[in-house]
């Protein structure tokens, strides 16, 4: 699965791997270790400097491999990487840095590395549109169905593309997953200029494109489709209709956009954000709320907490100090900060509205989504929502 916009590759990655032996094996696999003038005692800083000065015919290939390892050496990928490491039987993997672990997977378990990387490039997509199917439907399309899906998608999007031949698309299906079917749909697009500081404090220009123009993630057991399509919900619904007809063999109106986030649990007398033993996070704290008073529904208010300490007052505490009860307001949005074992900076803030969330599909956010579902904030019960939506129509 292709990725266009990698994480920035810096000297910090080389220091986090912190192993001359691993880097010797890595660069030797490309036949360039001898040209770098290093030995296995070299530290990360020395290896990084040697890499920046390396001139060879296959540099682009080496850089792409380094960037893929670096992409998985990030907090967002930690659960996917550690899960992969556990499946591969890497001893003491919990004690290794993500960078070192990703490098070991690349060197010793290449197939598992590629599969994990392919999933991660799709799963890290945020702010997916969620659509609910009328019922759960199995998903195991043939290559011919995928091609028909692409052709129908091109025809559907022709109105958004003013060229006579319509958009040029690819449909890249991720390796099979036991719980979901995933695909990325990149297409021809224009580059956008971007600038960033490099290590020597000089500004470097580069072309940046979105990782994927479209992403589809479908849960057959729940009948839930998550789509990144850009240009608002209308385009997501168009993509969902094509997916329903060509991949699932269902009517074009099979998927319905509806409210799947519910803030009612906050009204329960003894509600608590306390994590359970199976949760990966340590604490949860509401950091922002958008609301309207039921007596004045035309006016919207926002409370935001800037104190990042987990034991600091939350926005719900601020509401209480202001003399407002949750029963007196309609919540339009809520941001929750989740704290993980990595320290005060190892947090993930999730934004919720009645019809959307900022969750991605990475392992970390999957654990958060399970907790939100357990508390009653998120409900992907397809049959219930579809029945309500059909009645509303």
Model confidence at 313, pLDDT cuts 50, 70, 90, reads confident
Q: Residue 284: is its pLDDT beyond 80?
A: yes
Please tell me whether residues 200 and 279 are part of one structural domain.
no
Q: How far is CA 5 from its chain centroid?
A: 14
Least confident window among 48-52, 235-239, 381-385: 381-385
Are 227 and 129 spatial neighbours (Cβ–Cβ below 8 Å)?
yes
Residue that terminates a domain, selected from 92, 123, 154: 123
Whether residues 228 and 325 fall in one domain: no
In a domain, 25, yes or no: yes
Do residue 110 and residue 143 come from a single domain? Answer: no
Co-location of 306 and 250 in the same domain = no
d(CA 38, CA 19): 12
Residue 2 forms part of a structural domain: no
Apex 200 CA angle, 197 and 201, nearest 5? 40
The answer to whether 369 and 379 have CB atoms below 8 angstroms apart is: no
Domain hosting residue 300, numbered range: 264-392
Decide if 64 contacts 30 (C-beta within 8 A): no
Residue whose C-alpha is closest to residue 69's, from 40, 95, 107: 107
Residues 280 and 332 in one domain: yes
If you average pLDDT over residues 360-381, what whole number do you get? 85
Average pLDDT of the chain to the nearest whole number = 84
Residue 215 lies in a domain: yes
Q: CB-side exposure of 172: number of CA atoms within 13 Å?
A: 17
> Do 137 and 80 belong together in one domain?
no
What per-residue confidence (pLDDT) applies to 163? Answer: 47
Residues 96 and 157 in one domain: no
Alpha helices in the chain (DSSP H): 11-17, 20-29, 44-53, 59-72, 78-88, 98-108, 110-123, 143-157, 232-246, 315-321, 363-375, 382-392
Residue 79 lies in a domain: yes
Domain count, the chain: 3
> So what's the pLDDT on residue 162?
47
Is residue 4 one of the residues assigned to a domain?
A: no
Q: Are residues 65 and 139 in the same domain?
A: no
Cα 121 from Cα 362, distance rounded (Å): 9
Condensed to tens digits (0 to 9), the pLDDT of residues 327-370 reads 999 999 999 999 888 666 678 899 999 988 888 887 788 889 99
pLDDT value for 190: 42
The pLDDT of residue 16 is above 70: yes
Flag whether 139 is in a domain.
yes
Given pLDDT bands bounded at 50, 70 and 90, which one contains residue 384?
A: low
The span from the CA of 369 to the CA of 348, in Å, is 12
**Rounded distance between C-alpha atoms, residue 81 and residue 86, angstroms:** 9
The closest of 169, 142, 139 to 156, measured between CA atoms, is: 169
Higher pLDDT, 89 or 383: 89
Using an 8 Å Cβ cutoff, are 200 and 174 in contact?
Answer: no
- Per the domain annotation, does 17 fall within a domain? yes
pLDDT tens digit sequence for 146-203: 999 989 988 887 764 444 455 677 788 877 777 889 888 876 544 444 556 655 566 6
Residue 82: pLDDT band (50, 70, 90) is confident
Same domain, 273 and 251: no
Final residue of a structural domain among 105, 123, 141: 123
**Tokens 């990360």 correspond to what residue?**
44
DSSP one-letter code for 91: T
Same domain? 227 vs 198: yes
Share of the chain above pLDDT 70, in %: 84
For the chain, what percentages of helix, strand and coil (3-state, to nearest 5) are there? 40, 20, 40
- What is the side-by-side strand order in the sheet with 356-357? 296-304, 283-293, 329-339, 347-353, 356-357
CA distance 258 to 237: 11
Name the pLDDT band for 234 (thresholds 50, 70, 90). confident
Q: Is residue 3 part of a domain?
A: no
The domain boundary, picked from 204, 233, 257, lies at 257
pLDDT of residue 114 exceeding 70: yes
Measured between alpha carbons, how far is 185 from 217 in angstroms, rounded to an integer? 11
Q: Tell me, yes or no, if the pTM score tops 0.85.
A: no
User: In angstroms, rounded to a whole number, what is the distance separating the alpha carbons of residues 134 and 386?
Assistant: 5
Rg of the chain on CA atoms, in Å: 24
If one counts every other C-beta atom within 10 angstroms of the C-beta of residue 114, the result is 15
- Is 210 in the same domain as 291? no
Q: How far apart are CA 139 and CA 219, in angstroms?
A: 9
Q: Are residues 274 and 160 in the same domain?
A: no
């Amino acid at each position: 699965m292709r990725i266009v916009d990698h994480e920035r590759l810096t000297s910090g990655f080389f220091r986090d791997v912190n192993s001359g032996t691993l880097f010797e094996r890595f660069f030797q696999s490309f036949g360039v270790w001898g040209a770098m003038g290093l030995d296995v005692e070299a530290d990360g800083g020395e290896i990084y400097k040697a890499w920046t000065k390396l001139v060879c015919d296959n540099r682009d290939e080496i850089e792409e491999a380094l960037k893929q390892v670096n992409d998985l050496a990030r907090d967002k990928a930690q659960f996917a990487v550690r899960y992969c490491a556990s499946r591969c039987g890497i001893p003491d993997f919990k004690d290794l840095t993500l960078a070192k672990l990703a490098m070991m997977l690349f060197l010793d378990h290449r197939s598992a590395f590629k599969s994990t990387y392919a999933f991660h490039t799709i799963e890290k997509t945020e702010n997916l549109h969620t659509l609910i199917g009328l019922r759960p439907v199995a998903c195991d399309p043939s290559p011919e169905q995928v091609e028909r899906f692409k052709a129908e998608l091109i025809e559907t999007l022709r109105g958004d593309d003013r060229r006579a031949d319509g958009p040029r698309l690819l449909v890249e299906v991720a390796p099979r997953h036991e719980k979901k079917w995933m695909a990325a749909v990149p297409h021809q697009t224009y580059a956008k200029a971007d600038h960033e500081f490099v290590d020597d404090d000089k500004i470097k220009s580069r072309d940046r494109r979105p990782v994927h123009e479209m992403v589809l993630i479908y849960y057959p057991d729940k009948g839930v489709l998550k789509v990144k399509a850009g240009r608002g919900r209308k385009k997501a619904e168009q993509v969902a209709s094509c997916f329903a007809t060509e991949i699932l063999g269902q009517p074009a109106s099979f998927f319905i956009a509806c409210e799947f986030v519910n803030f009612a649990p906050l009204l329960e007398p003894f509600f608590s954000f306390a994590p359970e033993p199976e949760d990966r996070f340590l604490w949860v704290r509401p950091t922002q709320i958008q609301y309207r008073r039921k007596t004045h529904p035309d006016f919207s208010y926002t409370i935001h907490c800037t104190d990042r300490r987990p034991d600091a007052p939350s926005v719900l505490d601020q509401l209480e100090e202001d003399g407002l009860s949750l029963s007196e307001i309609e919540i339009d949005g809520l941001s929750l900060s989740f704290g993980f074992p990595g320290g005060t900076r190892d947090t993930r803030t999730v934004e919720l509205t009645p019809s959307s969330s900022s969750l991605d599909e990475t392992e970390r956010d999957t654990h958060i989504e399970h907790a939100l579902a357990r508390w009653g904030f998120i409900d992907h019960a397809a049959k219930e929502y579809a029945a309500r939506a059909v009645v509303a129509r």
